[in-house]
A and B are shown apart, each in its own frame.
Chain A
Amino acid sequence: MVVPEGCDPIIEVRDLKVNFYTYAGVVKAIDGVTFTICRGETYCLVGETGCGKSVTSKALTRLIQPPGRIEGGEIYYYPEPGKRVDILKLSEKELRRIRGSEITYVYQDPSAALDPLYTIGYQVAETMKAHGLVSRIKEGVRRAVDILRTVAMPDPEVRVRSYPHELSGGMKQRSVIGMAIANRPKLLIADEPTTALDVTIQAQIMDLLLELKRKTGMTLLLITHNLGLVAEYCDRAAVMYAGRIVEEAPVRELFKNPLHPYTQALLKAVPNPLARMDKLESIPGSVPDLIRPPRGCRFHPRCPLRMDVCSRERPPEVLRGRGHRVACWLYTDEGGVAGG
């Protein structure tokens, strides 16, 4: 395990495996994922469509629905330092207490998270009441004004009485974030929270999340496919490919010194708006089918540096420098180029 010095873990995931049992076959969606999130940091899971970011984040509170099943591994949650909760052993009732109050989620599509029939104020109040923060809805609605103010909603006194369809995309996402922070969560999981929004609104929402994090000391797990967001807003990041973490490092290190051929290729494939680029490098092929994933390293069919061993055996995780780990044969003694 690699964790930064002085890390006080809030989440520990070890060798997580999740399968989906579909008619076409077993989708090996998460295949041995290990990581630790430290209290107070912004940790990021980044990768392309289908690599397993959302499934991993849902597994943290056992939100995986059939035909999916957690098939192995361990997940620990530390509500406070030294107090360990084994998520996979909790009863459904205990889990529900944690979900929605201590660990909350914000998803990409705010409309799906809001009930069109109720006002924003009512919905915020309802979340608070469900977790015992207020005893009556009326009191909750009063508190909702403050919460909407916290998420920088314009005219909060008016907006508590608005229905979702009366709000813009950005305002809806503010309301959803309001509901997610109403109970002062310890961990907020934001799964592509700004993907549906325009860049100027995205910037407002991301600034808001960091501001809330600074004020309340909560931990943020940010899930995104946008390397720009990783660079601007995260402390550490894990790059996922086809159900595995291929590399993890502090963000500056990751961008300055990417080790995995996939990370290297990905960084060269993103057009940078602030720099002139004469040629984007593309990665040949496309992501593999997870019913019949490639043997060995799942990236090997697309890898420019593949060796014989890559198609035979899964690469071990190698530690390279502070908090920087990579799963690639190039960096093992067997692999060659790396050495010391």
Chain B
Amino acid sequence: MVEALALDPRRLIRGEEPLVYTIDLKKYFPVKGLIFTKGYVKAVDGVTIAVPRGKTLGLVGESGSGKTTLGRVILRLEEPTSGKIFFDGRDVLKFKGEELRRFRRRAQIIFQDPYGSLNPRMTVFDLIMEPVRVHKIRVGDPQEFVARLLEKVGLNETHMFRYPHEFSGGQRQRIAIARVLALNPEFIVLDEPTSALDVSVQAQILNLLKDLQRERGLTYLFISHDLGVVRYMSDYIAVMYLGKIVEMGPAEEVFEKPLHPYTQALLSAIPVPDPEVASRRKRMRLQGEPPSPLNPPRGCRFRTRCPLAFSKCTEEPPLEEVERNHWVACWAVSGS
């Protein structure tokens, strides 16, 4: 698509300097039939986004929309099918050897499931020191180093020689955070970091992440399907639907003035913890379910569930800037 190529990610968020950006990034997964490849799941299909330095870009969308895949491809945990990724002004896909190693230290990921990501046979001390050793980072006295990190994430040195199973879910997520902080990264992909936690504990972790960002100038790509959490954490929001970005902009604006019909439907579907507001607000209900990613609709992928769909929607809508830094891919919004 000519439009997609014309989009310059450095102009997506004017007034900010992107630490990370992608250009027309694609990741297709082959789906195997009995003998031949049956087709492709276009998990990420031409995504151009920018994450400003020191800020949080929240990435929202329904299950299967491609959020995790996008995060993993940006970190090169998965090779893209096509497209470009830039980190601190340099082409990530060209990184090799020492440069790639440095990138692997500077860009980290934290997952939803703190249980799965921590080796059960290692103590907290070893869990934190292992990546430090791998990256040959000099830390002075290791015990003092680990103790300081534990304190930073709200644990303490008495926890140092215990095993993951001795901790609650929230504490395990703190250990995972300490482990990542030990490498002193600049960019962290947070993939549903609190989805497995109770609200009372979730608030602790979210506040910790915010404090760390302020202190260290960290840049976050924050993935979640919980819009309340995303609003609380993010400076900018990108909304994904079946592998594509449908709307992107400053968080307050996207929440207060959502423009894409999908974003509007998503916002009106979330139950709000306030009965007065709940009874007053108008609801917009989507019919049907997201189509199969194996066989998405031609043109706008949302058109099969869209209340505003019209003939033009069989053509692919480009992302267009409707207001300053507020981008939407919808024919009904940007005109035809």
Contacts and interface: CB of A to CB of B under 8 A. Distances in A.
Contacts of A203: 268-269, 271, 283, 285-286
Interface stretch (A56-64, A182-190, A266-274, A305-313): A266-274
A-B interface, 6 closest residue pairs, ranked by CB to CB distance from nearest? A228-B271, A282-B203, A271-B228, A283-B200, A203-B269, A48-B198
Contacts of A168: 289
Contact of A226 (B202, B271, B290): B271
A129 to B, nearest CB: 30
Contact of B273 (A49, A265, A272): A272
B255 interface: yes
Contacts, number: 134
Interface in A222-236: 225-233
6 contacts: A199-B270, A225-B199, A232-B272, A266-B199, A271-B229, A281-B203
Nearest to B170: A286
Contacts of A282: 200-201, 203-204, 207
Interface residues of B, number: 45
A interface bracket (residues with beta carbon within 8 Å of B): 35 or more
B62 interface: yes
Given A272-B228, A277-B232, A287-B198, A231 B272 contact: yes
B227 interface: yes
Nearest to B292: A168
Contact of A232 (B252, B266, B271): B271
A197 to B, nearest CB: 8
Contacts of B269: 199-200, 202-203
Interface string B193-228: 000001111111011000000000000000001111
Interface in A275-300: 275-277, 279-284, 286-287
B294 to A, nearest CB: 13
Interface stretch (B181-189, B274-282, B313-321): B274-282
A135 B156 CA distance: 66
Interface of B: 62-63, 168, 170-171, 198-204, 206-207, 225-232, 252, 255, 265-278, 281, 283, 285-286, 288-290
A232 B275 CA distance: 6
Contacts of B198: 48-49, 225, 286-287
Interface string A244-278: 00000001100110000000011101111111110
Contacts of B228: 228, 270-273
Task: Classify the interface of chain B: helix, strand, loop or mixed.
Answer: helix
A269 B229 CA distance: 10
Residue among B171, B232, B277, B285 with max Cβ neighbours from chain A (10 Å)? B232
A198 interface: yes
Nearest to B61: A198
A20 B252 CA distance: 48
Contact of B278 (A232, A279, A281): A232
A255 B273 CA distance: 8
Given A48-B198, A171-B289, A280 B63 contact: no
B200 A170 contact: no
Nearest to A255: B275
Contact of A231 (B171, B271, B290): B271
B275 A280 contact: no
Nearest to B267: A273
A267 B203 contact: no
A48 B200 contact: yes
Contacts of A201: 289
A154 interface: yes
Contacts of B199: 48, 225, 227, 266, 269-270
Contacts of B252: 276
A115 interface: no
A202 B225 CA distance: 12
Contact of A233 (B202, B271, B285, B289): B271
B207 A272 contact: no
A80 interface: no
Contacts of B286: 200, 203-204
Contacts of A48: 198-200
Contacts of B265: 200
Contacts of A15: none
Contact of B285 (A154, A207, A272): A207
A271 B225 contact: no
Contact of A198 (B62, B229, B230, B272): B62
Given A232-B272, A272-B272, A280 B203 contact: yes
Given A48-B199, A282-B204, A272 B225 contact: no
Contacts of A229: 271
Given A202-B269, A228-B273, A256-B276, 17 more contacts: A49-B198, A170-B289, A198-B63, A198-B225, A203-B268, A203-B285, A228-B271, A231-B272, A231-B278, A232-B271, A271-B232, A273-B228, A277-B231, A280-B207, A282-B203, A286-B171, A286-B200
Contacts of B255: 273-274
A286 B168 contact: yes
A199 B266 contact: yes
A31 to B, nearest CB: 19
B236 to A, nearest CB: 15
